[in-house]
Amino acid sequence: MLSEQLVDLSRLQFAITAMYHFLFVPLTIGMTWILVIMESAYVMTGKTIYKDMTRFWGKLFGINFALGVTTGITMEFQFGTNWAYYSHYVGDIFGAPLAIEGLMAFFLESTFIGLFFFGWDRLSRKQHLLVTILMAVGTNLSALWILIANGWMQNPVGAEFSYVTMRMEMVDFWAVLFNPDAQAKFVHTVSAGYVTGAMFVLSISAFYLLRGRDVEFAKKSFRIAAAFGFTSICSVIVLGDESGYTVGEAQQTKLAAMEAMWETEPAPAGFNLIAIPNEAEMKNDFAIEIPWVMGIIGTRSLDKQIPGIKEIREKNRERILSGQIAVGALEKLRKNPADAETKALFEQHVGDLGFGLLLKKYVVDVSQATPEMIDKAVADTIPRVAPLFWTFRLMVGFGFLMLALFGAALWSSIKGNFADQPWLLRASLWMLPVPWLSCELGWFVAEYGRQPWTIYGVLPTHMSVSTLSVGSLYGSLAGFVGFYTLLLVVEMYLMVRFAKQGPGSLGTGRYDNEYAHA
């Protein structure tokens, strides 16, 4: 059995490096389209200010992009270094979208980003705009393939287990590609990236306006950010709801946990606006409930029930008992593949194999599992409720806060008086961190909510790791924390410095703050 400490440290390292990576990704995703909008305005109107906007916001985009690339390499290699059994067990399906991401998207993005920065004097206006568009397309396609891979972890469609190769194998590529989970996740995640890009431009432009600097430049940037941001936040909220109700058991478990729904209520179920979940007794000590809302959001109907935690647990108990038989049969079959009787038994229970593997956390020979072990495994199938309940609500709250801000920003952009509304400018400035917080909370809900699985129903997290020493994990964790802290300090220093200096940093002679290239 793998030590729990090894599993926990592997998870911690993945969580830290993934959440750190995602500090840079959403801004990149959003900024690419904002740069396309600004440069299109330049090509259409021929006004130099739009070119300067593209170049200045592009400069800040570049500072962010460098760390996105740096931390992205970690993600590509960490499956192999720290999740070796996972890589073997599902590489046949999971590896493909990662490789396709490289071939179809990341090459495109990375090749054209070079020309975006260095091609201004060597390309015609239209050629350069095409380069910027291809860079944006590459970035967004990149997100698509990564989310197809992640979507499959939540809802593993199009694959079957093979006892000869001892792994999951792809049987239907199109099912993996058009996994409804992946599609919903893609739209929700890239929209969140667009919001992040819009907030970034909105906030920094508001800063210049509050200082009364580079006013024309800041006003034009603010307007673009307000319109783009408002559209995007609407998409995040409407399509975020979409990702909540998609079918699949993983999402049902996650939904029940993040809504603290212990019982299966008669349809349509009520929505717990606020609750104090009590894990031990499986009830809410206190709850403010809005009747009907959960049922309508969750099922888009008035008569379909949403299963509560207790009901899901009982279903999972049956699957664990069936999976226990599958694991036992598989182990026999590995020793004697010709045994037809065992094979028939295995095939009858293979659908619950993953649930049987949950017992491996407690006992090597799962046929020897005691009733207490089975109880523990059943309890494991539901992620902890309180962290999910609260992070989800915080994320949604931030979403509506941003809707209000972008709504106000857009309204006063249309009226043309935003530069004289210090409260709006200050709110825009102070809300700068909110999209990043929301993105991180969203990923926490998605990934913590999938526990105890790496692949829902197929492979438990505790079986997915590499057989490394705990000492190695402490060492690498320390290395990552050290490097990432240093990189963040350097990045923030440059970002703040150039954001403060503003378009003067382009050295064109047209803006405030044109001090020498320091």
Partner 1 sequence: MLFDYPTLKLIWWLLVGVLLVGFAIMDGHDMGVGTLLPFVGKDDVERRIVINTVGPHWDGNQVWFITGGGAIFAAWPLVYATAFSGFYWAMLAVLWALFFRPVGFDYRSKINNPTWRQTWDWGLFVGGAVPPLIFGVAFGNLFQGVPFHFADNLMPYYTGSFWALLNPFALLCGVVSTAMITFHGAIYLMHRTEGAVQRRTQTAMLIFGSLLLLAFSAAGIWLWQGIDGFAIVSTVDPAALPNPLDKEVIRQPGAWLANYDKYPATLLLPALAYAGTLAAMLLAVNRATLAAFVASSLAIVGVIGTAGASLFPFVMPSSTDLRSGLTVWDSVSSQLTLNIMLWVTLIFMPLIIAYTGWAYKVMAGKVTAAYIRENDHAAY
3-state SS of 414-473 is HHCCHHHCHHHHHHHHHCCCHHHHHHHHHHHHHHHCCCCEEECCCEEHHHCCCCCCHHHH
Among 8, 76, 241, 265, binds partner 1 (CB under 8 A): 76
**Interacting stretch for partner 1, rule CB under 8 A, among 31-39, 68-76, 207-215, 246-254?**
68-76
Q: Is 379 in the site for partner 1 (CB under 8 A)?
A: no
Among 28, 82, 205, 342, binds partner 1 (CB under 8 A): 82
| Residue pair 292/272 in contact by the 8 Å Cβ criterion | no
Closer CB to partner 1, 62 or 452, in the complex = 62
Among 1, 4, 12, 114, binds partner 1 (CB under 8 A): 114
**Interacting stretch for partner 1, rule CB under 8 A, among 157-165, 231-239, 296-304, 382-390?**
157-165
CA distances for 390 relative to 291, 348, 375, 387, 457, angstroms: 20, 40, 26, 5, 25
Among 37, 130, 137, 171, binds partner 1 (CB under 8 A): 171
Q: Under rule CB under 8 A, which residues in 435-454 are in contact with partner 1?
A: none
| Spatial CA neighbour of 417 closest among 223, 274, 202, 276 | 223
Residues with Cβ < 8 Å from 13, sequence gap 6 or more?
78, 82, 473, 476, 477, 480
Among 234, 468, 481, 513, binds partner 1 (CB under 8 A): 468
| Residue pair 459/453 in contact by the 8 Å Cβ criterion | yes
Q: Is 120 in the site for partner 1 (CB under 8 A)?
A: yes
Q: Is 20 in the site for partner 1 (CB under 8 A)?
A: no
**Interacting stretch for partner 1, rule CB under 8 A, among 61-69, 216-224, 286-294, 346-354?**
61-69
Site string for partner 1, 39-58 (x = CB under 8 A): ----------------x---
**Residues 147, 192: Cα–Cα separation, whole Å:** 13
Q: How far is the CB of 96 from partner 1 (least distance, A)?
A: 5
Q: Is 93 in the site for partner 1 (CB under 8 A)?
A: yes
Q: How far is the CB of 176 from partner 1 (least distance, A)?
A: 10
Size of the site for partner 1 (CB under 8 A): 80
Which of helix, strand or coil describes residue 279? coil
Q: Is 102 in the site for partner 1 (CB under 8 A)?
A: yes
Q: Is 98 in the site for partner 1 (CB under 8 A)?
A: yes
**Interacting stretch for partner 1, rule CB under 8 A, among 42-50, 71-79, 218-226, 414-422?**
71-79
Residues with Cβ < 8 Å from 195, sequence gap 6 or more?
26, 30, 229, 232, 233, 236, 402, 406, 435
Q: Under rule CB under 8 A, which residues in 323-362 are in contact with partner 1?
A: 331, 334-335
Output Rg (C-alpha) for the chain, integer angstroms.
Answer: 25
Q: How far is the CB of 119 from partner 1 (least distance, A)?
A: 6
**Residues 303, 266: Cα–Cα separation, whole Å:** 8
Residues with Cβ < 8 Å from 491, sequence gap 6 or more?
63, 64, 66, 67
Q: How far is the CB of 111 from partner 1 (least distance, A)?
A: 4
**Residues 141, 139: Cα–Cα separation, whole Å:** 6
Q: Is 69 in the site for partner 1 (CB under 8 A)?
A: yes
Q: Is 167 in the site for partner 1 (CB under 8 A)?
A: yes
| Residue pair 89/168 in contact by the 8 Å Cβ criterion | yes
